[in-house]
Homo-oligomer: A and B are copies of this chain.
């Protein structure tokens, strides 16, 4: 299934305690009720509290005889208006939305003005000071490639590899908004938000583009930029081989 959600009201994707309001929790509850089975939903990745998705992919296994069209109608009828299923199809039994993802695309939206925007306020991070887009673009280019992004993540499990490949980063300014789009084969915990914080610090002059390569070598979270708020972040796309 392809999902869209506004993260404002949720404590993120991942199911937590029974009382936590999470996207996965809401969906699993509904799917279990629909099928009469205990459904476990695999998301392509966990979005943090307040983070949105234009295109999240998730899959589950069921013995239900309902068609995907029937499930699609049922789910959208009972889901709250800030979560929608955009489409739903049968997948190969071996398909796993996280393990088989080849590329993910995230968008970070900065509302760069002293006056907030009424219409985009839920989806942007308001940053008042002027930002040097040229310098940010230089720094963004240095973030691309295959690197150890340890300095750009909040540690959770130390055992796993922190090497990722960032394919490209684009920065666009339109009116009062700056949109930074990240394409990578995967992202570590908080990685997009720390990269964005680092780019903002380049943009406001408190660090140089040339200082970026040292961050990879340092592997030190403290040396990278601030963690910007989740509400500016949107999962735009998840891509698979075929």
A contact set with B: CB distance below 8 Å: 4-6, 52, 54, 76, 81-86, 115-119, 121, 123
Contacts and interface: CB of A to CB of B under 8 A. Distances in A.
A126 B118 CA distance: 21
B119 A85 contact: no
A5 B86 CA distance: 29
Contacts of A81: 116, 118, 121
A117 B4 CA distance: 8
Nearest to A120: B119
A10 B193 CA distance: 34
A26 to B, nearest CB: 13
Contacts of A118: 4-6, 52, 81-84
Nearest to A54: B119
Contact of A52 (B52, B115, B116, B119): B119
Contacts of A117: 4, 84
Contacts of A123: 119
A175 to B, nearest CB: 11
Contact of A115 (B84, B116, B121): B84
Nearest to A85: B115
Contacts of A83: 118
Nearest to A7: B118
Given A81-B121, A121-B81, A76 B115 contact: yes
17 contacts: A4-B117, A4-B118, A4-B119, A5-B118, A6-B118, A52-B118, A52-B119, A54-B119, A76-B115, A81-B116, A81-B118, A81-B121, A82-B118, A84-B115, A84-B116, A84-B117, A86-B115
Nearest to A80: B118
A10 to B, nearest CB: 12
